[in-house]
Structure 1
Amino acid sequence: MVSFFFTFFSLFFLCIHVSSAADTISSDFTLSGDQTLVSSNETFEMGFFETGTSSNFYIGMWYKQLSQRTVVWVANRDKSVTDKNASVLKISDGNLVLLDGKNQTPVWSTGLNSTNTSSVLKAVLQDDGNLVLRDESGSVLWQSFDHPGNTWLPGVKIRLDKRTGKSQRLTSWKNDDDPSPGLFSLELDESTAYKILWNGTTQYWSSGPWNSQSRIFDSVPEMRLNYIYNFSFFTNATESYFTYTIYNHLNVSRFVMDVSGQIKQFNWLEANNLWNQFWSQPREQCQVYAYCGSFGICNEKSQPFCQCPRGFRPDSQKDWDLKDYSAGCVRNTELQCSRGDINQFLPLSNVKLPDNPDVVVITSLGNCASACQGNCSCKAYAHDQGSNRCSSWSKDVLNLQQLEEDNSEGNTLYLRLAASDMPSESSGKSNKLMIFGAVLGSLGAIALVLLVVILILRYRRRKRMGREKSDGTLSAFSYRELQNATKNFSEKLGGGGFGSVFKGALQDSSDIAVKRLEGISQGEKQFRTEVVTIGTIQHMNLVRLRGFCSEGNKKLLVYDYMPNGSLDSHLFIDQTEEKIVLGWKLRYQIALGTARGLAYLHDECRDCIIHCDIKPENILLDSQFGPKVADFGLAKLVGRDFSRVLTTMRGTRGYLAPEWISGVAITAKADVYSYGMMLFELVSGRRNTEQSENGKVRFFPSLAATVLTKDGDIRSLLDTRLDGEPVDVEELTRACKVACWCIQDEESHRPTMSQVVQILEGVLEVNPPPFPRSIQALVENDGSVVFFTESSSSSSHNSSQKQSHSSSSSSSKKTSTNNSSA
């Protein structure tokens, strides 16, 4: 009996103790297993909860009185625990920590750098859903309201710290069963507007700035009709934040950054025992950026909203079943780019095209399709017949959307597929093919004999002429064939340190450009191997190599002919030449296309290929003035002899980076320097170095750097022939800034070509550049700059080019002197 009463009273006092501490974790009370904390008004409850069937447990907070468990905050959302009974939430070393399993491994902590670990701490779950860690004086050391998850409760401040530039974020769950951070987040920006981001980078919705007079966000007019919430916006020199309270505290309401990528407002309907969605943005699901992941198609008229194109399947069906489409779709059959004939293109009609194509050029549909077919990395392309704009994508295709038939924004996207996944032909067409096949079969014997005869004749001819296929794409020509094709090399297009270029035509009447190389000493086998390697490099902004010739010392390369010639022939023209002056938009597209081609050579080939000779003469223009980088394989071909060949070049010294002259190892940043010099010439329409009428040398990069660093008139740098034309000043400023960054003396201070592409596309912001030291030295010693006369450059095409080329050489030499003295 005594034992019974002892046990009874022990349990009684224990219940009193637990009841009095039901909302508090202290040094003598921890949370484990099925134990929970309950706020004093019993609105919120906190403890371990399990998601789905995964046996993953999290410490979370939910509404206690609602029939649906609705989690509003999760502590360890990045890492779950597997055994709630062996895990414990406790006060330890001045923090609230979650320890996992028998080994008591730390999984989550409040992360305070507390020096006074002897202080008595308490964690209290308050009536508003705020978990607060206090010291013995009552001071708040940490609170969950400062670390929101996916739910914005009344009283929570989503703030921007103006001192650090950091903003608190609401971040979606990965899916309905996984509270780990998803791809969608809401935050406040410096313009006092809330924005929703995909992957922390791409903004696809904004509330508009806060209007202090009407007390609403400009793009959320629904706030005018609000009778439930009391909204407050606060801003000062150190922070800005937005918060809200509820007029009637009997109402239960919350804002959620949902797994759908939409910010949603829910009100609890007690009579129906469910959450009622009151408001959401963006309004349409398909306005959420990349909601369906890579290659996924969003369709507002279907359920679910996301679908995979024909020949594709969900990358993770399990995730799709949980409404997480972020992994997108993958092909049923892997592409085999080494055999282009087994890959075809599936047309997707009436779709909103993906954002951010990797390449955009002006060309015909046929050329657009051929360029993508010939480029192993090209995954999709589209062509606008009205503008002849050809866009292609080599990476993930994101943000595809199926549009209605009458939508004027609809386009056709061509997706690369294995031929086995392409739609089958119709039965009618198949029947016609069968009939046609039967007819051919009746003539099979005759055709077979003729085919054998033709093959024998062609084999003998090819053997006699020395022509053979090297890898299925490049042709090995005989010297006599190219001699005939170029009419004994009679029509010269240009020349340089590597040799001369001649126009020709093949037997199929297609025009070609034949480069007769000089100073190439590789053996036959090595040369062929190197050429075949270069021939596999395909990009819309690189000139396509069609074939080669290698007979003893006779080494020639065969390229596609570019009808509009080289860039220099359109930039450096005088008033007597009857040529169209390139407009600013076209110049900007040429700059962007050239940068994309170089970025491909530097970053996307198996080995980094450094061009080593970027200049307007090596940028060729196709029939639509699309830029093509030429001679990109010559540095690889020349190899160890390149430095010797370079010293004999004419007209390129003005594009050489300082490290060429100082003798240090050359990296891809040497191309960046040359590109910057060429970009200045695109802007001004003149050679960077010219002699004025009074005999002084004008060095345009120094003028541009002065204007940029002293906030001068940026339009004063533009080609005077473009006066009166509409020019995008932002594009002009961006081009000049990036050019000045490209010609910095230190390699580490120059951007990569991939960064240049992003800057020109407007993806990256570019800061004001510093004045390059070597240019500053050149300006300070202007009187001692040596200017070469016409006779110094006998190999140039004409006198004006000779002069300007030589000037470039002198400038480069002077730069070298200044660098070495520094």
Structure 2
Amino acid sequence: MARNVPVEYLYPPYNLTYFHFIDTNGVFLLSRNSTFSAAVFNPGAAADDQQSRFFFSVLHAASRTPVWTATAGSTILQSIVLSLSSRGLALSDPGAAADDAAAAAWSTPPLRSPVTALRLLDSGELLLLDAANATLWSSFDRPTDTILPGQALLAGVPLTAVTSDNDLNPGSYRLLVTAGDALLQWASSSSAANSSSFVTYWALSTDANSVQDSTAAVHSMTANSSGIYLLAANGHDTVFRLRFPSTTTDAAVLLKVDPSGRLRALAMASPPRATLPTVWAAPYDGCDLPLPCRSLGLCTPGTNGSSCSCPDAFSTYSSTGGCSPADGSTLTPSASDSCTSPTSTSGLNYMSLGVGIGYFANKFASPDTSGEPLAACRDGCSGNCSCVGFFYRNSSMSCFLVRNQIGSLFRGGGDNSGAVGFVKTFPASRHQGKGASSSSLSLITIVFGIALPTVAAVLIGFLVYAIWIKRKVGSSSDKKKRKKQHGQGSSGGINRSWFKLPMLSSSQQPSSYVSEEENESADDDEVLIPGLPARLTYIELSEATEGFKTQIGSGGFGCVYKGELRGEAVAVKRMNNLGTSRQGRREFLTEMAVIGNAHHVNLVKLRGFCADRQLLVYEYMNRGSLDQCLFRPNNQCLDWAERMGVCAGAARGLAYLHAGCARKILHCDVKPENILLDDRGGVKIADFGLAKLLSPEQSGLFTTMRGTRGYLAPEWLTNAPISDKADVYSFGMVLLEIVRGRKNCKRDNHQQLQSSSSSSSDGNDGYYFPALALEMHEQGRYEALVDQRLDGKADMAEVERVVRVALCCLHEDAALRPPMTTVSAMLDGTMEAALPRTELLGYLRLYGHGLVDVRSAGKPGKGSEFTSAGGGATSSWSPTSCVSAQQLSGPR
């Protein structure tokens, strides 16, 4: 018969070893509702591994998942005893000598008063209590690899992964919260005490789903079923928040750094002894981990997971040993943290990893030196006893030293297209007493690693110049052949360097496309635009769209066509107006670089572009735009949950544009037509790259009005500075249209006369909806604002939240509108929705009653100054009229 296990409390004195309570799986204490258990735990037993590794752990009872473990070499052997005494908890060997490490393998720190009880809460927190039930020690203050619901991870306290699923001793990976971020790091050295040995490979602030709400210092990190939050010192204000995917379960979620180095969110609702399901993980790409392929393995991402190989000069990849030099030379052993003298240069050599090979750590590391030649980078590594290799970027002349231990590699991407890497090697004979005397790069390395690529670059440059000359004087057949070759070469991926930018001749009109012959004979100009996405040819895109056959949308900038490019559905936007000047084309390419580097789950991805015809290639969203789902009667009506998803997703996308990019991006045309949906619940902002770009500290004046009538902020008409708050105003208008399911504007007089003699299904059809929203908000009648097609199936608390947020966005004074990060937090429920200042929204009421002459909007001297008798508000502008039947953006 099973032994009775104490519940919630255990009292000293108490002693046990791992072979006690075999009939209870090592469990010696349960929480009140049996959610968690304290146990002497053998993690290998779950895999039928009868190894003698036992640990003192707190387990999630249903899944037997350890959420806290006594660490610091605390493996429990047969002679080790876990004891609870008035001095605390301890793991020790009573038979060992006093000076033996096993005599006190682990213990709680000295306590201020004697222990009277050990308590295990249903939150998973293990406590030592005194006679007054005051907490003397808590496992939450000493986390190991897991954060539980309600637990805060303080800045500076690491969360360290275990070595493996069967060995719960501390491993090489950790999560560390700093004053400005949360970082995943790898200990490249065996000494965890050396903080400089930790290499960062993921940061929460750079994750596509993260949003920054403030610039306050981060004090702690928490998580719940909706996401991860970095909090300020008051424990309430968020500095960063990262939302989990919308498919995440409502069950409680714990965060765990797993043995591979990934940070995982695991749902705790699970059948007994089942593995907890992962609802989110970072980094997403396995090749971003330090050792997905062991040392020097070359990681290649794929649809079914990553694959591993070796660089060209290294032997075949082995899953147990990584890669080694194919010429028989040996790699430098992992350096010791205590090394104080330079590595002996006797026989020292460097083996090239090849061009375009990237290293995970360089994404977050600052270069050791910049602006110096490759030889100086090599010498810096040679003179550093802990350096095992280096990476050098030719474009920026940046040098990155790899210390202690080198991890896995990956090919291409980002700034690595022009990078070279080298690792220290020694001839095989060196360890047999036959060392060489050279301290520089070997002749083979110089020829194949440096000289050959340099000569190749010169030859390629000469070839490009020859082709340019030939284009000007060659035959038309040669031109077509060259175009075909260029199309094949450009489809390979990302262009990050020099390329030809064809210019239009002065005789060509902006409204017409350039013919192939004209384009070939036009003057070319070389420009350097780093960070460009894939450059495609007109022929490729014409074939992908079957001659621009299927039009799926149109706007003031041009038409959008559906196509298929390399097996993937895409949307190709054909611009109406071509820039004729060199500066205009340069600005176009610069904006393409900015768009291509803006990555967020709620932004439409730019797949490529064609500079010659200003064609943009985006990912395809198969459900179309929001206006098609909201306003077209033949389409299926969006239910309320879907509408809330659109509100939150679009807000996150705009918040990223305003606060998450290296350069602030103003959309300038936020409207339902530019919010795209797919059948998997995806919500993405489109056309954001065609907006005005500003640096974070800038605001600016636009020389021409941008955007769509009906969504324009007041400052567009008053020549006031335009900031990101103009997007906030437009988004407020969109929120109201999502609630109502129709356009905000009044119908024209002809429509109103036709409907005046009949009963309408919507009594508010002829009213300016923002004014009605303001009135219903003041009366608390939010149900009157909801789309009648929903048949009352809407959460009124959420309706109130959306309306309040929308009205806050519509404040006439831009300074009173909340930033998009705050709008996003209010919509997803992580922040309480603010109350709008109704006394400053009187202009909406006046416009709703038709008291504004929209024809004089924004024109000085036309009497556009007015005062609201009802609301007491004074306005210096007149809202623009409703969107016309041709709902298009104006020129930018």
TM-score, with structure 1 as normaliser:
0.48
The structure with the largest helix share of the pair is 1
Which structure would you say has the larger Rg? 1
